[in-house]
Structure formats: structure tokens, C-alpha cells
């Protein structure tokens, strides 16, 4: 599960948003979109907690996978400085991803740094012949990324909350106007977005949640959330993907 991966490339693709391509044996064992990797910042003990980052793209043929993350604090700032050829200590693949269901039309909704895992998801669904429509929300024009990638897979709409790019408003403003029937939706993004989607979408769907992680493999009990049935689940091992309505948002 623990692997040293080599950095194949890294670049800043939007404001504070970095895309890193990693190379090694891991992609061989990566199967489900929506799973995450747990990244050790460096081999010192300054940062004792790994950083959970979702997998954006898996390319088994070239033994590579891609992560996209936002530089938020000192740890991610250090990761962002890594250069081609540097190595990164990674635990993966962790968590349960999105179920790949054979539908006709699905809606894929991403918000901010919740967008990356949806790319691998959409890619896989398209390979299965599923038609995907993408609605992606960002704060501002400078935060937008992966628009072209999603466009190559299906209809793609962008919303920015300040109106500086695409439609002004939230992803839900776009979805309301779509008027299309979907068999199912897949979402990843801020909790408030997932809550509104879960409440307004008539279709069933899957959402991916975020929480502060400790270990990432189920032992520390840091990332629990409450289910609608009153039980508690660990996001890292039982999630991060759940069925709509399963989690109390």
C-alpha cells in the first residue's frame, strides 16, 4: 500500500491549484474513480499527518496517475515545490470510490477542488457508453480548471459565484435550467453544495465528502460523520463516496 512514486511533471493550472503527474507501480492497483491517495509531505517529522488528495486521472498503460490539489498551508506548499524526478511517499489506493453504473444519461457536478476525481469518473463512464453532462462551479475565473478536459467528454457548463466566467451563480442555478432527465448524478464539492443537490435532485446519486483526516486507513477515528440512520461512519474507509441521503449533511 505504501509506495514511492516519481514525479513525472507538476504545474500550476489555476490559482493555487496544482496538477501533478506521478509515475510508478501504483496505477496498476487503482481501480475505482473517487478513491484517494494519502501523501506524506516529506521524510522529516515536521508534518506528521499525510495529505489526502483525490485521484484525477489514471493511465495504467504509462504507469501514471494524476492528482490535482490546492495549496492551502505549509504542507501543500512544500509538495508544490517538488520537481520532475523527485519522489513522493504515497499510501494508496484508499477509500471507496463511485460505483460505475450502466446508465444512459448522468449528471456530474463538481465544486472547486472537488472537481478533480470527477474527471476520471467521467472518463470511465464515457468508456462504458454513458452520456455525461458536467456542471462545474468555481469562485472566480482564476480558479477555473479542467474545462477543456471535461468538454472532450460531454456537455460542460461552468458557473462562477462572482460571474467573472461562465454563468454567474452556483451549479444549482445551471442545473435548474437544464430541464434534462438524468438517470443518476455524481457530485463532489463543498458540503453546502452537496446538501442543496441532495435536497433538490429528484434523481438518485452519489456524493463524495471531505473531512480532516488523521491516518486515512480507519484507525484514528478523526474523519467520522453521522449517517441519517444515526450511526457513525469513517469517511476514509467507508467513504468518501456515499449514496444520496445516506449521510446527514
Partner 1 sequence: MNSEKLNVNLPGLQLKNPVMPASGCFSFGQEFSKFYDLSKLGAVMIKAATHEERTGNPTPRVAETASGMLNAIGLQNPGVDHIIEHELKYLESYDVPVIANVAGTTIDDYVIVADKISQAPNVHALELNISCPNVKAGGIQFGTNPQTARQLTAAVKAVSDVPVYVKLSPNVTDIVAMAKSIAEVADGITMINTLVGMKLDTNGKPIIANHTGGLSGPAIKPVSLNMIYQVRQHLSDIPIIGMGGISKAADIIDYISAGADAVAVGTMNFTDPYICPSLIEALDNEVSEMDHIHDIKGRAYKSLQGEWV
Q: How far is the CB of 220 from partner 1 (least distance, A)?
A: 6
Q: How far is the CB of 228 from partner 1 (least distance, A)?
A: 15
Regarding 225 and contact with partner 1 (CB under 8 A), the answer is yes
Q: Does 91 contact partner 1 by CB under 8 A? A: yes
Cβ-contact 24, 3 below 8 angstroms: yes
Residue 26's nearest CA partner among 58, 73, 72 is 58
Q: Is 24 in the site for partner 1 (CB under 8 A)?
A: no
3-state secondary structure of 199: helix
C-beta closer to partner 1: residue 76 or 156: 76
Is the CB of residue 162 less than 8 Å from the CB of residue 138? Answer: no
Out of 12, 25, 31, 46, the only residue in the binding site for partner 1 (CB under 8 A) is 46
At residue 210's C-alpha, the angle toward residues 247 and 123, to 5°, is 95
Q: Which three three-digit cell numbers place residue 71?
A: 495549496
| Comparison of 2 and 176: residue with beta carbon closer to partner 1 | 2
| 219 in contact with partner 1 (CB under 8 A) | yes
Give the strand pairing for 184-188 and 105-111.
Answer: parallel
Distance of CA 71 to the CA centre of its chain: 15
* Residue number with CB closer to partner 1 (19 or 238): 238
Q: Which residues have C-beta within 8 Å of that of residue 228, sequence separation ≥ 6?
A: 245, 246, 247, 248
Q: Does 223 bind partner 1 (CB under 8 A)?
A: yes
Q: Which one among 17, 58, 144, 215 touches partner 1, defined by CB under 8 A?
A: 215
Q: Give the whole-angstrom CA distance, residue 249 versus residue 247.
A: 6
Helix, strand, or coil (residue 191): helix
Taking the complex as a whole, how short is the minimal distance between the CB of residue 57 and partner 1, in angstroms? 26
Closer to partner 1 by CB, 48 or 61: give it: 48
Residues 190-209, interacting with partner 1 (CB under 8 A): none
d(CA 67, CA 22): 8
Given the complex with partner 1, which of 178 and 219 has the nearer CB atom?
219
Q: Which of 11, 62, 221, 243 binds partner 1 (CB under 8 A)?
A: 221
x-or-dash string of contact with partner 1, 47-86, rule CB under 8 A: xxxx------------------------x-----------
Any contact of residue 1 with partner 1 (CB under 8 A)?
yes
Question: Which segments of the chain does DSSP mark as H helices, in order?
Answer: 74-80, 116-127, 147-151, 171-178, 191-200, 235-238
Helices (H) and strands (E) in the chain, counts: 6, 15
Among residues 158 and 223, whose Cβ is nearest to partner 1?
Answer: 223
Task: Using CB under 8 A, list all residues that contact partner 1.
Answer: 1-2, 40, 45-50, 75, 91, 211-225, 232, 237
Amino acid at each position: 500500500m505504501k509506495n514511492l512514486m516519481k514525479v513525472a511533471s507538476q504545474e500550476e493550472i489555476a490559482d493555487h491549484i496544482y496538477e501533478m503527474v506521478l509515475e510508478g507501480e501504483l496505477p496498476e492497483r487503482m481501480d475505482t474513480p473517487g478513491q484517494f491517495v494519502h501523501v506524506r509531505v516529506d521524510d522529516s517529522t515536521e508534518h506528521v499527518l499525510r495529505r489526502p488528495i483525490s485521484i484525477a486521472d489514471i493511465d495504467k498503460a504509462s504507469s501514471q496517475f494524476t492528482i490535482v490539489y490546492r495549496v492551502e498551508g505549509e504542507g501543500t506548499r512544500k509538495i508544490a515545490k517538488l520537481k520532475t524526478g523527485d519522489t513522493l511517499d504515497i499510501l494508496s489506493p484508499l477509500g471507496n470510490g463511485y460505483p460505475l453504473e450502466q446508465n444512459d444519461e448522468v449528471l456530474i457536478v463538481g465544486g472547486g477542488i472537488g472537481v478533480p476525481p470527477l474527471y476520471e469518473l467521467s472518463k470511465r463512464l464515457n468508456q462504458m457508453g454513458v452520456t455525461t453532462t458536467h456542471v462545474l462551479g468555481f469562485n472566480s475565473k482564476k480558479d477555473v480548471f479542467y474545462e477543456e478536459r471535461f468538454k472532450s467528454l460531454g456537455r460542460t457548463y461552468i458557473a462562477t459565484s462572482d460571474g467573472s466566467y461562465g454563468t454567474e451563480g452556483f451549479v444549482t442555478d445551471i442545473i435548474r435550467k437544464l430541464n434534462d432527465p438524468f438517470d443518476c448524478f455524481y457530485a463532489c464539492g463543498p458540503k453546502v453544495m452537496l446538501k442543496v443537490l441532495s435536497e433538490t435532485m429528484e434523481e438518485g446519486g452519489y456524493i463524495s465528502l471531505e473531512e480532516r483526516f488523521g491516518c486515512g486507513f480507519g484507525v484514528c477515528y478523526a474523519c467520522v460523520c453521522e449517517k441519517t440512520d444515526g450511526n457513525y461512519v469513517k469517511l476514509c474507509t467507508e467513504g468518501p463516496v456515499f449514496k444520496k441521503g445516506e449521510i446527514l449533511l
